[in-house]
């Protein structure tokens, strides 16, 4: 897979369109790479070999018959297992959805297929997207390609790892509190959470409906740009989908960083921030300065309140959304129940894992009689204050730059028994979900232990274009592009004569 | 402690979940710690601030028009138990 993946989305598509490569060969390379490395990585929960081959063959037939190929024709893509795929199981990392086969495609998936993308499989995730390490999956623990003893981040850890390990060229994840950006940072790839409302949520299994948003992963800003162009846009099937026109992101990304005003919030560089993270982000800001951007310090004073606000609102919404899993219409059912009430309780108690139960309990508590005003309503008011911080900052700057995550990838098992420590992994990312803003994470360096460090670029609502513009300009300056994790298999095969 | 074991049992009932003794004990401790942590929001005076339920996303009404939807067999295909075009469940009233 090395070759197709390193070509990138646009070059790959153009070569397939020109007849220099076949979609079938590219799909086989992706499947071969998965067979070679995924036993160690566990990025995929389901690989759809037949479906991928069929989609690729259809692209090759279209080319031969002279049809115009779509913008993602023949590009192997993986989908987080939280997005519904027609005829292909979708379990959300949960036992309660084991065996569920959606009768329809999520809008985002339908758009990828229509653009010619070849869906090769579904990727692992924390159960119902609740987690920051992909250790909370009921099926398997995904490993970080840069160090198999470490987590890939989460909850879209499978998608991030699949792209980092060149199993696919691009992938889709979802982000409720950082679940695209944090794993992108930890796996050394580019990941983007678009503005709330930019990409349809139809067919995205809901965790927290006012925060969830799907977005792309790729090995370059260009790849993420190409995929975003396809999935963005209004969808009548999602009442919160925005009608804002979708600009030409490719053109926007080519404009260079000259004249951009970058804000750097002091609250995102707290005492005790990992030194290597701090230095890598500072070096990227210096590079932006050389490109003609101005950099100024700003303040987002309510930043400290974002994590508590997020955990009240997200769990409240989750407790309501997850009430639908009752063992009646889909998913697993406890067999020994003697009446309907005990069927609900037994199916849910068996089907959900510990973190999901913890969040349903917390959400039920903060919405319960006597506590609603003290927790839920107060958190909604603080959400307004957090949004106002950004509104005020964006009157003076065009984009905001921060670290994506306070540290590089942590070790598997390190935070599983401490929910609060795990929640703090999202400290620099949750604010964007609360305010509904677009954000991108791109690699900006490696630690001494060769672990990737992520840079977060934040934009005004619906201004993904400016975020991509700065990211595309910074990418060659940072020069991370050529660096890839070395998986043990590669080391082994290199050792052969 | 911000939450008692009794409250945990009550919340579990509301959420249609059940826990063993040991799990109840652990959840009481963990939820207590999380509630202590989120209590820092009390430091802010929010009385004059409007609540935000959605971050700027439009939320619009659609026309009340008929459109295509899933056919019955597709809708029932994932049911643990179905029959005669219906979802089947254990008896509701004993």
pLDDT at position A419 is 79
Distances (CA, A) of A19 to A24, A59, A65, A225: 12, 11, 12, 24
Cβ distance A297 to A266 under 8 Å? yes
Q: Where do the domains of chain A lie? A: 2-302+385-487
CB A404 within 8 A of CB A455: yes
Task: Please state the ipTM of this predicted complex.
Answer: 0.95
Distance CA(A415)–CA(A425), nearest Å, equals: 10
Q: Which residues 332-391 of chain A have a CB within 8 Å of chain B?
A: 332-333, 337-340, 342-346, 348-349, 352, 357-358, 360-362, 364-365, 368, 375, 377-385, 387
Tokens representing residue A318 in the block: 């989750």
Q: Report pLDDT for B59.
A: 66
pLDDT value for B91: 84
Beta bridge partners of A263: A296, A400
The reported pLDDT for the residue numbered A340 is 93
Q: What is the dihedral of CA A109, A111, A117, A120, to 10 degrees?
A: 10
Task: Report pLDDT for A424.
Answer: 83
Domain ranges (residues) in chain B: 5-43
What's the pLDDT at A420?
A: 79
Average pLDDT of adjacent 10-residue blocks, chain A of 497 residues:
72 97 97 96 98 98 97 98 98 97 97 98 98 97 98 98 97 98 98 97 97 97 98 94 95 96 96 93 98 98 97 97 96 90 96 96 95 94 97 98 96 87 88 98 97 98 98 96 76 42
Report the pLDDT value the prediction gives residue A3, as an integer from 0 to 100.
Answer: 54
CATH architecture assigned to A2-302+385-487? Alpha-Beta Complex (3.90)
From A165, A155, A152, A173, select the one nearest A227 (Cα to Cα).
A173
What average pLDDT values come out for chain B (94 residues) when binned by 10 residues?
Answer: 89 97 93 93 94 75 87 95 94 75
Domain B5-43 has CATH 1.10.20.60: yes
Q: Which residues of A touch B37 (CB under 8 A)?
A: 308, 420
Determine whether the interchain pair B16/A348 forms a contact, defined as Cβ–Cβ distance below 8 Å. Answer: yes
**Residue B54 phi, psi dihedral angles, 5° rounding:** -135, 140
Among A residues 176-235, those touching chain B with beta carbons less than 8 Å apart: 196-197, 210-211
Residues 6+ apart with CB under 8 A from A470: A257, A260, A262, A288, A293, A399, A401, A457
């Amino acid at each position: 897979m090395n070759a197709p993946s390193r070509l990138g989305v646009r070059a790959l598509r153009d070569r397939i369109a020109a007849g220099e490569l076949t979609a079938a060969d590219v799909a086989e390379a992706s499947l071969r790479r998965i067979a070679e490395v995924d036993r160690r990585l566990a990025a995929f929960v389901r690989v759809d070999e037949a479906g991928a081959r069929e989609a690729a063959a259809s692209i090759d037939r279209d080319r031969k018959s002279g049809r115009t190929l779509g913008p993602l024709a023949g590009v192997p893509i993986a989908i987080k297992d939280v997005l519904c795929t027609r005829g292909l199981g979708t379990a959300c990392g949960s036992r309660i959805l084991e065996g569920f086969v959606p009768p329809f495609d999520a809008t985002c998936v339908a758009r990828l297929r229509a653009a010619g993308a070849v869906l090769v499989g579904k990727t692992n995730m924390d159960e119902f997207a609740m987690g920051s390490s992909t250790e909370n999956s009921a099926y398997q623990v995904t490993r970080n390609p840069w160090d198999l003893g470490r987590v890939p981040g989460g909850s879209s850890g499978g998608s991030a790892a699949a792209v980092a390990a060149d199993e696919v060229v691009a992938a889709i994840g979802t982000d409720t509190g950082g679940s695209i950006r944090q794993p992108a940072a930890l796996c050394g790839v580019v990941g983007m959470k678009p503005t709330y409302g930019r990409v349809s949520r139809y067919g995205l299994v809901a965790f927290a409906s006012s925060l969830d948003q799907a977005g792309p992963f790729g090995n370059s800003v260009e790849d993420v740009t190409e995929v975003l162009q396809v999935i963005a846009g209004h969808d009548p099937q999602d009442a919160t989908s925005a009608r804002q026109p979708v600009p030409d992101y490719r053109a926007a990304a080519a404009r260079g960083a000259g004249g951009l005003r970058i804000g750097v919030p002091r609250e995102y560089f707290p005492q005790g921030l990992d030194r290597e993270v701090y230095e890598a982000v500072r070096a990227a800001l210096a590079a932006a300065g050389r490109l003609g951007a101005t950099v100024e310090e700003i303040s987002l004073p309510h930043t400290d309140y974002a994590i508590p606000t997020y955990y009240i609102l997200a769990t409240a919404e989750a407790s309501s959304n997850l009430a639908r899993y009752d063992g009646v219409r889909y998913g697993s059912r406890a067999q020994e129940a003697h009446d309907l009430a005990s069927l609900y309780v037994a199916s849910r108690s068996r089907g959900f894992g510990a973190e999901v139960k913890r969040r349903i309990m917390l959400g039920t508590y903060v919405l319960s009689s006597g506590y609603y005003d003290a927790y839920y309503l107060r958190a909604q008011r603080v959400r307004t204050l957090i949004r106002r911080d950004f509104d005020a900052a964006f009157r003076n700057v065009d984009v905001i730059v921060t670290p994506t995550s306070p540290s590089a990838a942590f070790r598997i098992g390190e935070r599983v028994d401490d929910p609060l420590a795990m929640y703090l992994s999202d400290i620099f990312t949750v604010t964007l979900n609360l305010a509904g803003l677009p954000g991108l994470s791109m690699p900006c360096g490696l630690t001494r232990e060769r672990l990737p460090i992520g840079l977060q670029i934040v934009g005004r609502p619906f201004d993904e274009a400016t975020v991509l513009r700065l990211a595309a300009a910074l990418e060659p300056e940072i020069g991370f592009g050529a660096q890839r994790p070395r998986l043990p298999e590669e080391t082994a095969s290199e050792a052969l004569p | 402690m911000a939450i008692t074991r009794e409250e945990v049992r009550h919340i579990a009932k509301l959420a249609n979940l059940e826990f063993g003794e040991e799990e109840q004990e652990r959840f009481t401790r963990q939820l207590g710690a999380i509630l202590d942590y989120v209590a820092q929001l009390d430091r802010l005076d929010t009385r004059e601030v409007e609540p935000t339920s959605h971050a700027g996303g439009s939320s619009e009404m659609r026309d009340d028009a008929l459109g295509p939807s899933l056919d019955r067999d597709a809708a029932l295909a994932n049911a643990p138990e179905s029959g005669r075009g219906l979802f089947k469940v254990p008896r509701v009233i004993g």
